[in-house]
Structures are given as structure tokens and as C-alpha cells.
Amino acid sequence: MPQHLILRLEAPLMAFGGTMIDANGPTLDLPIRSMVTGLIANALGWQRGERERHQRLQDRLVVGARLDRPGTALRDFQTAQLGGNDKAWTTRGLPEGRAGGANTYKSPHIRQRHYRADAFVTVALRLDPPEEDPTLATIEAALRAPARPLFIGRKACLPSRPVLAEPALQADNILVALKLAPLARPDIPRTQHGDGKQKVRFAVPPSECSDDMQRQSRLLADVRDWVAGVHAGESRIEHFALPTEEIAAAISAEDLP
């Protein structure tokens, strides 16, 4: 039976990516595989230039998530007055200069960034194949004592609790691992469905759930081409909700290990 790590993502602000258009950066409700790849790579102390290592890690990751606390959507409207001599850092690790005539600097630089405020997300992950380096044990050790400060999606999104505090658990698949991980915050209201049951939302790969489940299949842009430095692919993800009684007994976030 394979080993799975359980991550607990809680923060005043979190951002889970999405398809960016112009300067409008959206966020999803649940994390995507490329974001989890970057989180792990940061904990391991990898440099951004180690692109093949990032790519192989993403290719091996099997990830699913559960929305324990939805939080609320937050939109940050950002402006900055930039001059011709101002420079910006890029993902290439080099400062980027500015061009254009004097009139191009009269208006501020404007962008929008979207976040989830006060959310709590439980993530289950494993590696396939498991024996390659880094192993799940290596990742577990790195998340317990990360090489650098971790953030959830964007650098301003610092976690309010350790990302990993629970030992790895054995489960048949990602869905079973998520059901074995206790719900956080039993005092919060859950989504009420037509049958009167309180339910929690899940998102897992198709191979990680049974065929007889009622679910909605979606294509999600969660694959990054780390070598080229762009998002370049989609994965089919199954979205569904399960009654709380099918999940391990809830405990408060403060009582989580």
C-alpha cells in the first residue's frame, strides 16, 4: 500500500493559480500540481534554474485536495508609479529594464491579484515511481525543516501553521488518504446539499476515485513546462462533494499535530 503525505494549508491569504489574462491574476479554490511542485522544491532548497529537476518532480507527483474551510474571495487592486530607471526582477533571475518615451511613464502600472482569505485546504500526495530521488521521506523531512521560508502560491502568502505536521500514512489512493485525514475545524458550517447532508468538496485525478461516484470532470491548467518557464498543459480532475460522516472525525486546527 503506497505512502501518502498530508499537507495542511492555512493562511490569512492563499493563491492557487489560474489562467492569467493580461494583468489579472485569478486564483482557484484548490491548489494545482505545479504549485505543489514549487512548494516542495522551495522546501528542498532547489534553485529556479534547476528546471529539469522541477519537471521530473511534477511528472511524478500525484496530488488531490479537500476544501476544509472555503474562506472568502479577495481581490487586491495594485498600482505602482514606475519610472524609466526602475527595474523589476523576473523568473529568469535577472533584472528587467524599461523602455519607451517619457509619456509612457505618466500612468501607473495597474494589475489585479485574487486570493482566498482564511481558507483551510488539506492536500494528499504521493510519488510515482516512489523510489527515485527525492523520495517521499526526503520531501517529508524538507517540509518539516524547509531550506527556505515557504509560501502558498505567492510570496506574500505565508502559512499560519506548519505545512506538514502529520506523519505519512498508507492508503490505496489519494481519495482514501484524504478521507483518512481528519477534517479541520469542526465548528465551521459546511455546504448543505439537497439531501440535507453537510458535505466537503474534493478534487482528485480520475485514477484516484471509483467509477461509481457522482462527480464532475474538468480540464484544469495545472501543468507547467518548467524547462521553458511557461504553463503548457492540462489535466483532467474530478470534482465532487462527500458527506462529512465519510471523512475521519473532525478536530480543531489548533489540535492538529
Query: For residue range 138-197, what is the model confidence (pLDDT) as tens digits?
Result: 999 999 999 999 999 998 899 999 999 789 999 999 999 999 999 986 555 555 555 567
What pLDDT does 33 receive? 94
Cell 500525484 maps to which residue? 62
Identify whether the C-beta of residue 67 lies closer than 8 Å to the C-beta of residue 29.
Answer: yes
- pTM, two decimals, is 0.86
Domain contains 217: yes
Per residue in 202-241, pLDDT (tens digit) is 999 999 987 777 788 888 888 999 998 888 888 999 999 9
- The residues pairing with 238 across neighbouring beta strands, listed in sequence order, are 204, 217
What pLDDT does 257 receive? 63
Domain contains 239: yes
Domain contains 92: no
Cell 476544501 maps to which residue? 67
Contacts of 253 (CB under 8 A, 6+ apart): 8, 10, 120, 161, 184, 185
Q: How far apart are CA 123 and CA 164, in angstroms?
A: 10
Domain contains 220: yes
Q: How far apart are CA 232 and CA 224, in angstroms?
A: 5
Is the link from the previous residue into 146 a cis peptide, with omega within 30 of 0?
A: no
Per residue in 46-90, pLDDT (tens digit) is 998 899 999 999 999 999 999 999 999 999 888 888 777 777 766
What pLDDT does 195 receive? 59
What pLDDT does 107 receive? 76
Count of the separate structural domains present in the chain: 1
Domain contains 20: yes
Identify whether the C-beta of residue 55 lies closer than 8 Å to the C-beta of residue 61.
Answer: no
Per residue in 84-133, pLDDT (tens digit) is 777 776 656 677 777 777 777 777 878 888 999 999 999 999 999 999 99
What pLDDT does 192 receive? 52
Cell 460522516 maps to which residue? 245
What pLDDT does 218 receive? 87
Total residue count of the chain as it appears in this document: 257
Cell of 166: 502529520
Domain contains 91: no
What pLDDT does 108 receive? 81
What pLDDT does 194 receive? 52
What pLDDT does 185 receive? 63
What pLDDT does 141 receive? 97
Domain contains 89: no
HEC string of 148-161? CCCCCCCCCCCCCC
Domain contains 59: yes
CATH number for 175: 3.30.70.2660
Q: Residue 218: give the domain boundaries.
A: 3-76+112-255
Q: Is the pLDDT of residue 253 over 90?
A: no
Contacts of 25 (CB under 8 A, 6+ apart): 15, 18, 111, 112, 113, 114
- Full DSSP string of the chain: --EEEEEEEEEEEE------BTTEE---SS--HHHHHHHHHHHHT--TT-HHHHHHHHHHEEEEEEEEE--EEEEEEEEE---TT--EE-TTSSEE---S-GGGGSSPEEEEEEEEEEEEEEEEEEESSSSSSSPHHHHHHHHHS-SS---SSSTT---SS-S--S--EE-SSHHHHHHHSPPB-TTSPPEE-TTS-EEEEEEE-GGGS-TTS--EEEEEEEEEETTTTEEEEEEEEEEEEEEGGGSPPPB-GGG--
